[in-house]
Amino acid sequence: MAEFQEKLRLQHENSMHTELEKLLTSAKTPEAEISRKDFEGFKKLFHRFLQEKGPSVDWAKIQRPPEDSIQPYEKIKLKGLPADVASSLNKLAVVKLNGGLGTSMGCKGPKSLISVRNENTFLDLTVQQIEHLNKSYNADVPLVLMNSFNTDEDTKKILQKYTHHRVKIHTFNQSRYPRINKESLLPVATNIGLTGENEEAWYPPGHGDIYASFYNSGLLDKLIAEGKEFIFVSNIDNLGATVDLHILNHLVSQPSGKRCEFVMEVTDKTRADVKGGTLTQYDGKLRLLEIAQVPKAHVDEFKSVTKFKIFNTNNLWISLPAIKRLHEKNAMDMEIIVNPKTLDGGLNVIQLETAVGSAMKSFDNALGINVPRSRFLPVKTTSDLLLVMSNLYSMDAGSLTMSPKREFPSTPHVKLGSSFTKVRDFLKRFESIPDMLELDHLTVSGDVTFGKQVTVKGTVIIIANHGDRIDIPAGAMLENKIVSGNLRILDH
């Protein structure tokens, strides 16, 4: 049996290699070079995918991380800051993961170009934050954008507008991998192009690809040559992920023998975060455990807020020389995420991905830092967008901070229905963003619009049944209210 499976595995692998070679012959020379590098990485991933079966962790070996492996942020902060902050900052580059499109919010093009606050996009806010740092400390922190083939062209066009800002901006591209037909285990692409029938044939392979594509682009060596020692990596849609000088100082001030090569910012789980990856001790190493790796029988245990109290914010601080060393030794160990998709025509495909945080166990002296929740402010939906556009937050030099007028630090729970999913529709439904300073919970469903200067407090639920419409009048104050049925404000 084992012999037969091995034979089958080799057959699949050889067929895949043959098909990849065919695809390469359809490419022009410079494109073929890039694709060849990409395909090398893909072949390694595909080889491992064929060999590994079942969940990648043995549940019995999972242990709670040792006390000192996850440090409270307050303890890191107690060290204070050195007199010369600029010399620490000059060892840093900021990397934003910019491969995603705004499709889940009904927008075309890169998600980073969606306006989130006073006409400022995610990218605008990022540039403002780093420029503020560079000016305040007379430092030179560059911004690096990891684009994908989906976002590269549109992002580069926009970068012209920052030429006079005090931030050097570099970009590099994520790899482009072929989607695999679930039945035949062969690529669905017929040539290397991205248009027509091939439009859906390719995908960017998750943010774990950062290590290889950063290295392949030559930018990793360039930054090391410029004296950069660490990168701060985060999702561009996490508005809480600003450069933290205390964490940077902690990294830079480590004795050389105990150099911490990898820091993962984690924060306390709430019921809304049960699917987020968590930190465990496994085979003597600190390791990221994602829900996709958990055997089905243990998913509820994984989601429990009592056993796994923290989750990964995907704000990571990583040593550049360590990335270079591990990549060159082929020692970057990341679990494969098998992501099933159905294409528009109904074809079932799989895409093989990796997550940037899962390489944590490959680095020396890796550490978790339990940071305040304010460092995790992702905008994934228009419900999140409503929060960051509201008076809950004030903005200073591109950074959002919770208003001191809010009496408790937690963010309200907001659930907007499908009429609000697309940014365009969402904006039409609010004449102005409601006052939410005293809000705990807001649910809105159906055809609902808000007039100017509405205030919502406590728990507010507004449900317009099918065929009905509710217009909340200008200046209305809703506190602990349920509004349903049909409410039209007639123009007199």
Rounded to the nearest 5 degrees, what angle is found at the Cα of 185, between the Cα atoms of 179 and 188?
40
- Rounded to whole angstroms, the Cα distance separating 475 from 492 reads 17
Catalytic residue among 22, 37, 285, 380: 380
- Rounded to whole angstroms, the Cα distance separating 163 from 159 reads 7
Tell me whether residue 380 is one of the annotated catalytic residues.
Answer: yes
The answer to whether the CB of 460 falls within 8 A of the CB of 439 is yes
The secondary structure of 217-238, three-state, reads CCHHHHHHHCCCCEEEEEECCE
| Phi, psi of 333, rounded to the nearest 5 degrees | -100, 110
Helix axes 2-25, 29-51, angle to 10 degrees: 170
- How many CB atoms neighbour CB 29 within 10 A? 6
- Rounded to whole angstroms, the Cα distance separating 64 from 59 reads 12
- Rounded to whole angstroms, the Cα distance separating 151 from 161 reads 17
- Rounded to whole angstroms, the Cα distance separating 215 from 218 reads 6
| Phi, psi of 179, rounded to the nearest 5 degrees | -70, 145
Instruction: Take residue 135 and report the two structure tokens written for it.
Output: 């000016």
CA distances (Å), 207 to each of 52, 96, 111, 198, in order?
Answer: 21, 10, 15, 23
Range 155-181 burial, b when 16+ CB lie within 10 A, else e: beeeeeebeebbbebbbbbbbbbbbbe
The answer to whether the CB of 261 falls within 8 A of the CB of 323 is no
The answer to whether the CB of 94 falls within 8 A of the CB of 146 is no
Nearest to 414 by CA among 442, 447, 388: 442
Looking at the annotation, which residues are catalytic?
A: 380
